[in-house]
Structure 1
Amino acid sequence: MKLLILFASPRPRGNTAQLLEKITEVFDESVEITRFDLYGMDLKSCIACRRCQKVTDSFHCVHDDDMQEIFDAALESDLILFATPIYSFYCTPPMKIVMDRLVYGMCKYYGETMGPSLWAGKTIALLSTFGYPEEKASDLLVEGLRRYAKHNKLNFLGAYGERQRSYKEPFMNAEVEKRARAFAEKLMAYDDNLN
């Protein structure tokens, strides 16, 4: 399986990074991982100019930045894992930039003629961390990704998130690690279905 991880936390050793580390430890050598740390990349916001729609068989954008690398990796991947903390009830800014740029660059729906979704059939999943209870923190992003998947003709494998209950105690503990590994097993089960 080719797994693309889009990591959108500004904290390289923060809660999202800790969960991601526990998840990737479960993967065996059959999983080929490509990871982008979005906060360290040059990513410009979509301006909805729709020039990407003039090229219907590949990604195209007026911005000359690092997005082409992400686009290429997304097309090569089987599974894309969006990994982000929740800030103000949604993903962090670089993740939102990538989501916007991918939906326009991958989906040729917005030009003079209706084109294809270049990444139709790919599968996405969400890993998130948050401070509020899940139903008041990640619920909007989970629903957003469900709709995102449907619009893009993607498969939504599911979401896993963990709450930081108190800054006075460590985020990672045996129960959190157990749940992270269970999510990794779900991702690996998807890999088994590919073969």
Structure 2
Amino acid sequence: MAALILIDVQRGFSDAEYWGPRNNPGAEANIKALLDAWQQRRLPVVLVHHDSVHADSPLRPGQPGNDFLAELDGARPDLVFGKKVNSAFLGDVDLDAWLKTHGITDFVLAGIQTNFCCETTARMGGNLGYDVTFALDATFTFDLPALDGTTVTAEELSRVTAANLHNRFATVRSTKEILG
């Protein structure tokens, strides 16, 4: 039984002024397609939200940006919890214990940001022995400044995440491949 784990699909990531340029404008539609398929099949769904401890973050608890995006409206998750770090395995709930208690040995991962919370959760899941499928086109990220003063684009960061994960910590697939 495969669970769907959706990481940090929150309104605060829509703040382009705060985050800067992003990639993959189709990510939210792919997240919604995965969620709809999982709910239709009555498979386990886990929603994780980032509860930032930074005063200026749109992801702070109690702020509108901490709420889930509209694509998750109507979701009937089996588990919802917050985290303050990149990995969902280090959140307010012991995700590893919850998955094991429910007999879940594999999961599909999607959400925001590709190269931070999604990649970190995939790596830890792989290290813990889970069969992780990373839905690359159901994630997105933002440009980052490089140490040399140049910019690493969101698209390049996504490409590197896929290279880091595939056949090491996870299997990287498209939403179409996962749902097909």
Give the TM-score of the pair, scaled to structure 1: 0.45
Higher strand share: 2
Give the TM-score of the pair, scaled to structure 2: 0.48
